Amino acid sequence: MYHIPYTIHHTPYTRASNCKVAVFGCGLEAGSTEAKGTVLLKNAEELRNYNKSEEKKMEELIESIANTGVQV
């Protein structure tokens, strides 16, 4: 059994047993293309839609990790 330190403030869990653990040595971020580009936004609605698409990409990334069975 692994004891999760109390210094982690963003989780209600303090103990976990028989779980799958994922350890990453890098940050999680949505993939990007090789070419750099500029996004031209003409109004606030376009900015909101762009932000929503970025959030959806991140949610899909986290969901794909969770679907592997990782719990911690």
Would you say residue 66 has pLDDT above 70? yes
pLDDT tens across 11-53, in order? 676 777 888 888 888 887 766 656 677 878 899 998 888 888 8
Strands (E), the chain: 2-3, 15-16
Q: What's the token pair of residue 2?
A: 């692994």
Is the pTM of the predicted complex or chain greater than 0.95? no
Q: Which pLDDT value is given to residue 33?
A: 57
The answer to whether the Cα torsion of 65, 72, 24, 69 is positive or negative is negative
